[in-house]
Structure 1
Amino acid sequence: MTGPLNHWLDVALRDLAPAARDRMTAEYHAHVQDAMHSGLTEPEAIATLGDPAHVNRALRRTYATDQELRNVQGPKVWWFMLLLVAWYGLAALWFEQDVEAVAATTALVLACPAWLLVRSEPQPVRNLLLATAGQWLFNFTLWLGWSVQAWLGDPPSFGAILWLLPVLWVVWLVDTMQQARRMRRTLTLGGRA
């Protein structure tokens, strides 16, 4: 049970995190052994596993990839976005744009509970959440400034974006939570969560 099964496993488990790869390798080996004890030949037993490319796509919906777990850009993105929001607020004060300055201040205040919420997460999940939260904070700053301007009777010329951004946030949140759940599940396999 080496050649054909190993080739199938290479395709089916490509790019998965090591913990998920190890766990699934053991499960697929056990499945093939059970099928062979039931009277199937090795190629027939491997065929019962299905198309390895389809299996890989399904496993990627369940477990994180190695690259996702190694992403270390989260804190850098977080701090860069906070600096960008602060710079935006200071520029708004300089140019006497009070609404934008208040929007930036509000976003910076919201950054505190966001940081407290994610700091207890495992490092890879924290990196993902920080990167996403940083981008959201900058996005929220712009949206809040534009919304208040519209409420005061001076809407931006691209007013439709005021309705589009909250929809984008929901999609963003759902995608990020799915990624975080896959990462937590994968880290649990390796005992790192």
Structure 2
Amino acid sequence: MPQVSEKYLEARKNKIAIAAVNVFAKKGYSNATMKDIMDEVQISRGGLYAHFENIDTVFLAALKYDDFLNIESALSPDPKEPLFPQLKDWIQKTVLSVQDSDRNLVRAKSEFFLSHNASEFPYLQERHEKLANVIQLFIHMGIEAGEFRDTIDVNTFSELLIAMIDGIMLQQYNQFCSGFNLSKRIDLLNTMIERILS
């Protein structure tokens, strides 16, 4: 029997992760099954289990793929331009991404994060720390440029900003309240942040 190359196996695993994003976006994490993944990818049970041992490992692969897709929308400052408008633009793009319901993992992420301990899955902690560090570096850049006040607790600010953005996105996804106006919430969040930073 011919050997299958590592490149082929990796490509197949990536194909499964890409298809899994669609499944988790439609069904969330709690309702998705390995059978759903098999049907979406059109792969046999043995083919799926050759790459992933359970739904958790499939979800982590889908999450990593989704994170990779969102690298281009990461907070990456242009030091030649004022920083606060760049921060506002990043917040808006991040929050508005929840409106892409076909590929949105907000529901699946919240279900997975609430039902698992981050210590079981180091990638969860890594991705959070990476985002917090990016925000902290951005704020330090603003402090050094004299654009942001130097009395900010940068660590606490970054954690609060992540929590507020996550909360707005989850509320928008679930539409807990009638008359939810996303743009008003983004504007209010930006006003609060400007008062903290200026």
Smaller-chain TM-score range? under 0.3
Q: TM-score, normalised by structure 2?
A: 0.26
